[in-house]
Structure 1
Amino acid sequence: MRRYDRINACLPDELILEIFRHLDLKVSRDACSLVCKRWLTLERLSRTTLRIGASSSPDLFVKLLSRRFANVKNIHIDERLSISHPVQPDFVLFAVDVKMKFLLQGRRRGSDQLALSSPKLQFVSETSGSEEGQVEPYCLSDAGLTVLAEGFSKLEKLSLIWCSNVSCVGLMSLAYNCVYLKSLDLQGCYIGDQGLSAVGKCCKQLEDLNLRFCEGLTDTGLADLALGCGKSLKSIGVAACVKITDVSLEAVGSHCKSLETLSLDSEFIHNKGVLVVARGCPHLKVLKLQCINVTDEALIAVGTSCFSLELLALYSFQQFTDMGLHAIGNGCKKLKNLTLSDCYFLSDKGLEAIAAGCKELTHLEVNGCHNIGTVGLESIGQSCQSLTELALLYCQRIGNSALLEVGRGCKFLQALHLVDCSNIGDEAIGSIARGCQNLKKLHIRRCYKIGNSGIVAVGENCKFLTELSLRFCDRVGDEALISIGKGCSLKHLNVSGCHQIGDAGIIAIARGCPELNYLDVSVLQNLGDMAMAELGEGCPLLKDIVLSHCRQITDIGLAHLVRNCTMLESCHMVYCPGITAVGVATVVSSCVNIKKVMVEKRKVSQRTQRRAGSVISYFCVDL
């Protein structure tokens, strides 16, 4: 029967809600919400997450959101997201109800996550002095946080990123109203001890706490929170809080027996605080330290007490030696992830101790540890057969034989990152390619001994490779990319600065990698329009392309590229003399999904500026 409702007449609300919860795709849920008023209401009830960027009248914004989405449990507010300059008064919407209908009904976004911000329109309410064109504040205040707390009493997870106007008053209101809170991120919020003490007093289920860049806090606030939430707290992050010292860590170690994750970045933390945490928190699994005043004594305590440790990251240690790593190797047998960054006094002996004791290691990053060389990494290759990711950054003393051992012993390696490793060449890459055929990611930058033969071996052996980055490897040419095009189905390719690569190599990629969605060919002087035409034909899924400093690419090649690459979202074409205002207009008019175009200002016509000014950027590319 025409116009007969066969669904609403028989399906109860509970069943429709359950169906909505199983729809993961944004488009699917948006389409369902447009069927009828009942489905719109139910779809709102099914939302559990809101994501809010910088917006005009944020306090009022939050209030109106709380009326529409009653079951939200996760809210993320990030005021780092920029907001454009106010529009002219004749474009301002004064009626608040009309404004919110436009945002929340006419242009609903997201499925279970509602991304809300107003980058193009600014709003002025009737009570904000609209006659003078005054624009309301863009920062969430204590009043707004109070409204949020009262409107979302079921809240379990809240992120307030760089909400600089929020203080203790708003945080105390949050604590009193949202007693089910489990996760709280206060990064960059200038809150004080009273607010944090209130959270400790009221939110007895709190598990995760991030206090990075909370400069107003002292030991009093964190100690009170540890006392109140000690039984439930599992994760704490502290950075750049100059008034938080070992006193706070002593309270954490005494009361937070279930703590699993601790991240510290401070010049005011010493051995004493870390010692208490290591001995008082036996379930610690993740430890990240950037504390220049912590020494081997603290690491020895971790090695002798934290037997459940799985991830250890040590940054910029000035007083840390192999003795500490020996203790970790002897005691932390479950260690899987190790990062050593700028630890100048570590040597091969420390890495050998890790290899001997931590057989389950899967991820290793060595960054700027100049005393670690070939021998230490050889021991990793020989002993840690479960290794899946290896990153060697600025390791001038590590040579080919180290990666030969990794290729022989680490058959499950899936990701390899090399930056400024001047002694690693084709022999090492060939060994990795032949021995680690499950490799999915290979990122190499400024390794000048690596050339065609190593990358050819990758193309012949690593059939699962999806990401390849060869930045400024000036010995790599077309021969390497031809092999990759024949053997791998890449989704991500970056060959910026590889000046020997020209049309032949990129054409091979275009014909062999139809799933390519990211391409950076900047600073390739031999690349021309023929490659662009082939990319347009062979890579219809391309979303991001960087063409900057390519002198032979012209408007003609650009037109061929965008003709079929209709999914293109960003295009960087700074300092391409062959691309003119015509080419820029072609990109803007042909790519309906375009979000960012980076180009010189003189190449943007007034018509293009009017049509797509919001997506055009004039900043220089970071090469």
Structure 2
Amino acid sequence: MAIAGGCDTLQELELHRCSDLALRPISGFNNLQILRLVGSVEGLYRGPGVTDFGLTILAHGCKRLVKLELGGCEGGYDGVSAIGRCCTMLEELTISDHRMDAGWIAGLSFCRNLKTLRLQSCRRIDVDPGPLDHLGTCPTIETLQMRRCQLRDKRSLQALYMVCEAVRDVVFENCWGMDNDKFSLLSICRRVKFLSLEGCSLLTTEGFESVVLSWPDLLRLVVVSCNNIKDDEVSPALSSLFSVLKELKWRPDTKSVLAVTLAGTGIRKKGGRFFKRV
């Protein structure tokens, strides 16, 4: 409270080893727009953590938040939905190493102005997202990023994609468990314009192609270190798609040669399109 009283124009705050109790005076920061909370970090420190109670205090106290990062926090539907209802200006939400309760994904639909959702180093997505037909959507969502996450459960991924159905940019980076079956669920998101895949070693050319060819608006594509996506398995339909993209970074494995893969499409010839290389 003393800090809040003396720094009435403070806009950005980072709190580590945070607890519900530590969030009681958060309402004193009237102009706070960017907040990072770290409840507990495995191997570094453990504490009482942040639960639904703390997230609700945060929601009512920081109504001008634009960016929020929750690291090592607990909570669930009640806390996430409270943030959505109260923090109406929230545009960016990052959740890392979470300990969220079952059903937290359903709370995201209350974030009506959310543009970017990031999940980082999460061992699970949602143990039980509840009935899929009861999920809402984030109508303004533009970007979904998942980095170093364990994608064990197909149903929780489906729930996440349904909530982010309007997403334009999708990024997967070194996510364990992203196979053809789980990747196929992404076809729910029909407006994707940019896809970036890195380190998705279980995904094959067939599984990748079936989804990518279903997106009529795709303009930019990055595929790096996805060893089961092969140059020699690229179909004529996928090659045709490559030829009309505005940007392509294609290096699924160390043996990939873009010029050979796209022979006959007009790429790398005079008058053809230029594609960025990794």
1:118-156: CA deviation from partner (whole Å, max 9, x where unpaired): xxxxxxxxxxxxxxxxxxxxx444333332x22212322
Q: Residue 254 and residue 321 in structure 1: after superposition, are their counterparts in 2 closer, same or farther (change >3 A)?
A: farther
1:142 to 4, 20, 25: 20
1:325 match: 209
1:237 match: 118
Which has the bigger relative contact order, CA under 8 A and spacing at least 6? 2
Which ranges of structure 2 fall in alignment gaps of 5 or more residues?
42-46
1:416 match: none
Kept after mapping to 2: 8 A contact 1:314/1:340:
yes
3-state DSSP of counterpart to 1:357? helix
Aligned-pair CA distance for 1:235: 2.2
Amino acid at match of 1:242: R
Give the distance between the partners of 1:380 and 1:259, measured in 2 at CA.
35
Kept after mapping to 2: 8 A contact 1:296/1:324:
no
The structure whose residues are more often helix, as a share, is 1
1:581-623: CA deviation from partner (whole Å, max 9, x where unpaired): xxxxxxxxxxxxxxxxxxxxxxxxxxxxxxxxxxxxxxxxxxx
1:263 is aligned to 2:145: yes
1:537-588: CA deviation from partner (whole Å, max 9, x where unpaired): xxxxxxxxxxxxxxxxxxxxxxxxxxxxxxxxxxxxxxxxxxxxxxxxxxxx
State the identity as a percent. Answer: 17
3-state DSSP of counterpart to 1:256? coil
3-state DSSP of counterpart to 1:211? strand
Give the distance between the partners of 1:182 and 1:347, measured in 2 at CA.
42
Give the distance between the partners of 1:325 and 1:145, measured in 2 at CA.
47
Aligned-pair CA distance for 1:210: 1.2
3-state DSSP of counterpart to 2:268? helix
Give the distance between the partners of 1:248 and 1:204, measured in 2 at CA.
25
Q: Residue 242 and residue 308 in structure 1: after superposition, are their counterparts in 2 closer, same or farther (change >3 A)?
A: closer
1:254 is aligned to 2:136: yes
Q: Residue 335 and residue 243 in structure 1: after superposition, are their counterparts in 2 closer, same or farther (change >3 A)?
A: closer
RMSD: 3.8
TM-score (normalised: structure 2): 0.73
Q: Residue 244 and residue 298 in structure 1: after superposition, are their counterparts in 2 closer, same or farther (change >3 A)?
A: same
3-state DSSP of counterpart to 1:179? coil
1:382 is aligned to 2:268: yes
1:220 is aligned to 2:103: yes
Structure 1 or 2, whichever has the larger Rg, is 1
1:491 match: none
Q: Residue 376 and residue 246 in structure 1: after superposition, are their counterparts in 2 closer, same or farther (change >3 A)?
A: farther
Q: Residue 279 and residue 64 in structure 1: after superposition, are their counterparts in 2 closer, same or farther (change >3 A)?
A: closer
Q: Residue 197 and residue 380 in structure 1: after superposition, are their counterparts in 2 closer, same or farther (change >3 A)?
A: farther
2:194 to 306, 310, 318: 310
Q: Residue 331 and residue 167 in structure 1: after superposition, are their counterparts in 2 closer, same or farther (change >3 A)?
A: closer
Q: Residue 155 and residue 279 in structure 1: after superposition, are their counterparts in 2 closer, same or farther (change >3 A)?
A: closer
Aligned-pair CA distance for 1:176: 1.5
Aligned-pair CA distance for 1:240: 1.8
Kept after mapping to 2: 8 A contact 1:270/1:291:
no
1:474-529: CA deviation from partner (whole Å, max 9, x where unpaired): xxxxxxxxxxxxxxxxxxxxxxxxxxxxxxxxxxxxxxxxxxxxxxxxxxxxxxxx
Give the distance between the partners of 1:252 and 1:210, measured in 2 at CA.
23
Give the distance between the partners of 1:345 and 1:322, measured in 2 at CA.
8
Give the distance between the partners of 1:285 and 1:373, measured in 2 at CA.
26
1:360 match: 245
Q: Residue 308 and residue 66 in structure 1: after superposition, are their counterparts in 2 closer, same or farther (change >3 A)?
A: same
3-state DSSP of counterpart to 1:226? helix
Which ranges of structure 1 fall in alignment gaps of 5 or more residues?
1-62, 80-138, 392-623
Give the distance between the partners of 1:327 and 1:382, measured in 2 at CA.
26
Kept after mapping to 2: 8 A contact 1:258/1:281:
no
Kept after mapping to 2: 8 A contact 1:237/1:263:
yes
